[in-house]
Amino acid sequence: MTTAGLPALPQAYLVVFGAFAGLIVGSFIGALVQRWPRDQ
């Protein structure tokens, strides 16, 4: 899936972006679990 308007992103950039996004999502989920524990 390549678009003519945007240049192709390098694999390394995609890997770094994926790792950064995963880190942010993991930290957000961790904070949510800490603030709102479900000990039912």
Question: How far apart are the C-alpha atoms of 20 and 36, rounded to whole Å?
Answer: 24
According to the model, what pLDDT value does residue 37 have?
Answer: 66
Question: How far apart are the C-alpha atoms of 40 and 21, rounded to whole Å?
Answer: 30
Three-class DSSP category at 24: helix
According to the model, what pLDDT value does residue 1 have?
Answer: 55
Q: Which residue has the tokens 């039912």?
A: 40
Q: How many residues does the chain have?
A: 40
According to the model, what pLDDT value does residue 9 have?
Answer: 72
pLDDT tens, 1-40?
Answer: 555 666 677 888 889 999 999 999 999 999 998 887 666 5
Three-class DSSP category at 39: coil
Global model pTM greater than 0.85: no
Write the single-letter amino acid at 12. A
